[in-house]
Amino acid sequence: MSNRFALVVRFTLKQGHEESFDNLVDETLPGIHAHEPGTLVYISHAVQGAPSQRMFYELYRDQEAFKAHELQPHVRRFLDRRDEHVSHIDVDFLSQIRTARADQED
């Protein structure tokens, strides 16, 4: 069984804050890419038909990598500033049970 740690986050944005929130995400992503080898996937999605919704899919090597992610200065900055743009947050933590990639180890 994999030790992978994943979550999905749904952000409901304040009206008129979509561009500002997306810019904040754009400022955060380079730090994740450059400084977080344990962050395997970090994707921000717009929700079709719901312009004030954003979905994040995050996949980490393990729970320790997620904890390290949460402590990074670029992530702390994002967490400190997101509330000015967000009216509601839903988080689902995921447990991997199957994979479709034949070349991926569990």
Where residue 104 falls among pLDDT bands split at 50, 70, 90?
A: low
Mean pLDDT value across residues 60-78: 98
What is each CA distance from 80 to 41, 84, 87, 98, in whole angstroms? Answer: 22, 9, 14, 35
In the DSSP assignment, the letter for residue 14 is P
Write 97-106 long-range contacts (CB < 8 A, 24+). Answer: 99/2, 105/2, 106/1, 106/2
Model confidence over 12-61: pLDDT tens digits? 999 999 999 999 999 999 999 999 999 999 999 999 999 999 999 999 99
